[in-house]
Each structure stands twice: as structure tokens, then as C-alpha cells.
Amino acid sequence: MTRTPVPVLVSMVLVSMLVALPLEAQTASPSVTLFRGDGSSAYRPSAGSSEWIAWERPRVTLYPERESPYPFVRSDRDVVRLEVLGGVNAPLGIDLTLRLAIAQHFLITASAGVVTFGGAARTVALGYVDEEAAQSALLVDGALMLRVGVGARIVEGLEIVGGYAVLHRELTVRSDFLELLGVTGITGAEGRVTLQALWAEIGWTFTVLDHFLVRPAIGVMHVLDASASLVGEGLSDNEAAYLDRTARTVETYAEQYGTSPTLSLTLGYRF
């Protein structure tokens, strides 16, 4: 039997490997993962196929353990996400909040709202302070509330946020309300109340399908400074001075008793 020389045998092996290499390249899996129709199943199409060339939503599998299979879900690696939330914050009121989540851990927040629970705050305060101080809570009922703050997301969902708040209201005070504040014999007055406060809260944001948010939170608000005025037309000097003393009393009450726990529940959307 004739033996094949070793150099010839080696040459035949090398040729067969070169021939097989393009065939393997044609069937090799591409380096991206694609998702069918609704995104429920992942697969790898054949290299060079029409699906491989013209697919709508290829996704590079750099972090396959963190990649969502749903085409309408954005990656949690987006540097900045805008969040819009609205809800109730007792005993303050209702508000609308815009937040920027930066690098998934840092929060910048701004909100505007209206104080709607002044009556409830007065009812609660009646059990702890004198009646005149409790009635002062009604002066901020309907006030415009603006808040700004910064915070941090400690772990996924858990957030600590705090900042600065301003509550402002201008109103016409009737005689019956003036009597609640201890002012008698004056038919009415124009009033203005402005509160400056610090606030802080701990909340947990539950995320549904990466976009929809549910956020309960508990916190505290502390009044730093209060400004109030009560003025009327056609008043004597003594009556005007009495209104001014009443306004100073309202300021004192607001600063003395202006620390309150807060409880909020908001719903939102993350873009």
C-alpha cells in the first residue's frame, strides 16, 4: 500500500481548513441579539441574511444581564431621565413635580401646588395648641406652594430628598374670620401670608415597565420664616395697629408651630 507523504498530508489538512472556514463564518452567530415582534423572545439570525441586514431594533449585548427584551423599554443606563409626578401631600395639598434623575442616583426636583388641607391642619392643631393659633392655619389654605430640592437614590427605589419651599397667599379676610383671630369691630381686611420652609422626605419609587411610577413618601416640613400683613380701609389708627399686632401674632404662631410631618402619594411617568 502506498503511503501519502507527510508534506502532502499536511497540505491536504490545511486546504480543508481553509475551505471550511468561510462555511463556518456564514453560519456564525452575529454579535448582537435581536428580538422578534413583541420582543418576547430573543434569537440570533444567520449572518448575511435579510433579517440580519435590515432588522429594525438590533441591541448590542454588552450587558445581557441588564438588557430588557421589550422594545418600548429604555435601558437603565440612560444618563438623564425626566420624571413627571402628581399627587397629594398631606397636610399641604396637591402638587405637580418635575424631576431629573441623573446617572440613576442623583435627583433634582421642582414642584408647584396648592395648599388644600388647611382645614384639616386646623382640626389636628386644635388638640395641641390654643384655638387662636390653630385658626391661623386657615390663612394658608389655598396658598400657592413652590418647592425645589435635591436628593439621592440610595438603592433601587429608595430615595432621600430635601430642599426649600415657599407658601404664599393673598386674600380678603372677612369679619367672621377676624373674630376667630380675636379681632372684633372690623368688617374686613386684606391679608397676605408668606412662609419660607425647609422640607425633607424619604420615599420609595415603584417602577412599572420602566415608565410608570408609584411613589409613597413620609417626611417633615419646618417653617424658617413667616411674613403676614393685615390692612383695611377707613380704619382708625388704633384699629390699624390692632390688625398689625394680629399679623405679628400670626407670624409668631407660624414660626413656633410650623413644624409638621408630611405624608404623600404620587403617580408619575418616566420619559
Strand 42-43, strand 188-204: pairing: unpaired
CA–CA separation, 69 and 34 (whole Å): 9
Residue-level pLDDT at 110: 97
pTM of the complete model: 0.66
Nearest in space to 227 (alpha carbons), one of 257, 266, 253: 253
CA–CA separation, 271 and 267 (whole Å): 14
Long-range contacts, 250-254 (Cβ 8 Å, 24+): 250/136, 250/139, 250/181, 250/193, 250/226, 251/226, 251/227, 252/226, 253/129, 253/132, 253/133, 253/136, 254/136, 254/193, 254/195, 254/223, 254/226, 254/228
Task: Give phi and psi for 219, each to the nearest 5.
Answer: -160, -160
Question: Splitting the chain (271 residues) into consecutive groups of 10 residues, what average pLDDT does each group show?
Answer: 56 57 45 49 56 47 43 57 93 92 92 81 58 67 92 91 94 72 74 92 92 95 90 79 82 83 94 88
Q: Is 142 helix (H, G, I), strand (E, B) or coil?
A: coil
Residue-level pLDDT at 249: 81
Residue-level pLDDT at 229: 87
CA–CA separation, 163 and 154 (whole Å): 17
Residue-level pLDDT at 190: 84
Nearest in space to 245 (alpha carbons), one of 233, 262, 228, 224: 228
CA–CA separation, 84 and 101 (whole Å): 11
Class of domain 80-270 (CATH, top level): mainly beta
CB 270 within 8 A of CB 207: yes
What one-letter code names the amino acid at 38? D
Residue-level pLDDT at 247: 83
Strand partners for 37? none
Residue-level pLDDT at 30: 45
CA–CA separation, 143 and 119 (whole Å): 13
- Delimiting residues of CATH 2.40.160.20 domain(s) in the chain: 80-270
